[in-house]
Amino acid sequence: MTRRKGKTKPIAANQPDSLKPDTKIQVVQPPLTYGNPGLFRYERPDAAPDCGNIFLKLKEEIQDPIDFLIAAVQQADLVMIGAGLNLSKAAFARDKFSDDQSFWAEMYQDFIGMYELPDLKTGSHSIYYSLEEFWGFWSKLIRLGRFTDFYSSIYHELLDLIRDKEYFVVTSNFDHLFERNGFDEKRVFNKEGDLGKLQCQHPCCTKTYDSQPFILQMCQNQKDRKVPYEMIPRCLYCGRELVPSIHLSERFTHDADWEDGHFRMNQTAEYARHHNTLYLELGVNDSKPGQIKFPIWKETEINPRSFLITINDKQSAIPDTINERALCIEADLIDVFAALKEKRMNSVKPSCGNE
């Protein structure tokens, strides 16, 4: 990226002459790149000596997968969590809205009638007539997924499971549900970006902007699927349109927060290679394995004292090199966390009061 020399003078956030209201644009989703930069840097590939794997002993003794999960967390020196889309989908389905998509019909009735959109995912990848319409859809989506109050029982149950342990989370989700539900923000790395931030469409610098004031204003003032053109956010330095700061193309900006999170993740990964580390892969689908799945496999492979547990509604393939030190729980995440909560509650014996 070419950087400007000297001090950059901000310019007014007015519209460029080349863009007029209702200008037809095509919202294109460029090809995703996987694992660039890599999830972990292998600066020290040497791992801890094989002093015996405590998780294998537990696996022999405990047959129930939920009991094993609880015991493995208790025995681990560190829990590394890799979280994908299906974890957020399970949380929203359980605590925000149901799978009958009534919320979709209510919030996006105007878009559904115009474009015959079957679901939220299709809507977020659709081509809209204008910038005003594009932001009409995305402002609603970001407000729903990022800025509404959302207590997730699934995320709280996960936090209760690991609260007293050293842990670190790497997630490809954009919704900040970990931080919004009590996880330490210094122990979470949002690898693929954050809907709470905006960046320059053709990034002239690595600056990002808080999206909340823009989003709330656009939601309050849109009409007929459109936001007022003057409310479309613009970069203060070059005047181009701002877009959600998420990894949909090589134009995704690594700001200071992203670089800090990447550094902390690598520090934790180095520690993990020399200790009894439990890797939890939660809701990571197989469509983009280079984001989280492949790196976790590699980390498990190089540390003989580690163990991998994957939880997803579809069976996950496990390489032969770590097959012995892995457990796949093929079940709906909602059911798994419900069973986990019940197990943990039953393990707490009530006091009789007469002791």
Does 317 lie in the same domain as 290?
Answer: yes
Please list, in sequence order, all residues whose beta carbon lies within 8 angstroms of the beta carbon of residue 221, skipping any fewer than 6 positions away.
Answer: 227, 228, 231
Asked whether residue 77 carries a pLDDT value surpassing 70, the answer given is yes
Does 71 lie in the same domain as 174?
Answer: yes
Asked whether residue 97 carries a pLDDT value surpassing 80, the answer given is no
Angle, vertex CA 197, rays to CA 191 and CA 202, nearest 5: 90
Pick from 186-200, 218-232, 266-280: least confident: 218-232
Instruction: Provide the number of structural domains found in the chain.
Output: 2
Rounded mean pLDDT, 210-217: 95
Domain C-terminal end among 218, 251, 284: 251
Q: What is the pLDDT of residue 288?
A: 76
* pLDDT 10s digits, 43-63: 444 555 556 899 999 999 999
Domain C-terminal end among 251, 273, 289: 251
Angle, vertex CA 227, rays to CA 88 and CA 210, nearest 5: 50
Does 335 lie in the same domain as 259?
Answer: yes
Which pLDDT band holds residue 112 (cuts at 50, 70, 90)? low
* pLDDT 10s digits, 232-271: 999 999 999 999 999 987 889 999 999 999 999 999 999 9
User: SS3 of 353, please?
Assistant: coil
The rounded distance, in Å, linking the Cα atoms of 49 and 101 is: 51
Does 214 lie in the same domain as 123?
Answer: yes
- CATH number, domain at 90? 3.40.50.1220
- Please check whether residue 80 lies inside any domain of the structure: yes
Asked whether residue 227 carries a pLDDT value surpassing 70, the answer given is yes
- Please check whether residue 307 lies inside any domain of the structure: yes
Strand order in the sheet with 277-282: 188-190, 166-171, 78-83, 277-282, 307-312, 326-330
Q: Which residues pair with 169 in a beta bridge?
A: 81, 188
What percentage of the chain carries pLDDT values higher than 90?
55
Rounded mean pLDDT, 307-312: 95
Give 16 or 329, the one with higher predicted confidence: 329
Does 307 lie in the same domain as 160?
Answer: yes
Rounded mean pLDDT, 268-279: 96
Which pLDDT band holds residue 198 (cuts at 50, 70, 90)? very high
Asked whether residue 163 carries a pLDDT value surpassing 70, the answer given is yes
- Please check whether residue 18 lies inside any domain of the structure: no
Rounded mean pLDDT, 280-297: 88
The rounded distance, in Å, linking the Cα atoms of 292 and 172 is: 8
- Please check whether residue 268 lies inside any domain of the structure: yes
User: Measured between alpha carbons, how far is residue 355 from residues 8, 93, 345, 350, 351 in Å?
Assistant: 72, 44, 21, 12, 8
At 16, the amino acid letter reads P
Does 342 lie in the same domain as 299?
Answer: yes
The rounded distance, in Å, linking the Cα atoms of 231 and 58 is: 58
Asked whether residue 197 carries a pLDDT value surpassing 50, the answer given is yes
Q: What is the pLDDT of residue 162?
A: 96
Asked whether residue 10 carries a pLDDT value surpassing 90, the answer given is no
Domain around 313 = 48-96+151-192+254-346
DSSP string, 187-238: GEEETTEEEEEEEESS-SSS-EEE-HHHHHHHHHH-BTTB--GGGS-B-TTT
Please list, in sequence order, all residues whose beta carbon lies within 8 angstroms of the beta carbon of residue 43, skipping any fewer than 6 positions away.
Answer: 266, 270
Rounded mean pLDDT, 203-220: 93
At 333, the amino acid letter reads L
Helices (H), the chain: 54-61, 65-75, 85-95, 102-107, 109-115, 120-124, 131-142, 153-162, 177-180, 212-221, 256-272, 293-302, 333-347
Rounded to the nearest integer, the mean pLDDT of the chain is: 80
Asked whether residue 2 carries a pLDDT value surpassing 60, the answer given is no
Do 161 and 344 meet the contact criterion of CB atoms below 8 Å apart?
A: yes
Asked whether residue 193 carries a pLDDT value surpassing 50, the answer given is yes
Which pLDDT band holds residue 21 (cuts at 50, 70, 90)? very low
Q: Helix 85-95 crosses helix 333-347 at what angle (to 10 degrees)? A: 70
- CATH number, domain at 201? 3.30.1600
- Please check whether residue 7 lies inside any domain of the structure: no
Does 214 lie in the same domain as 306?
Answer: no
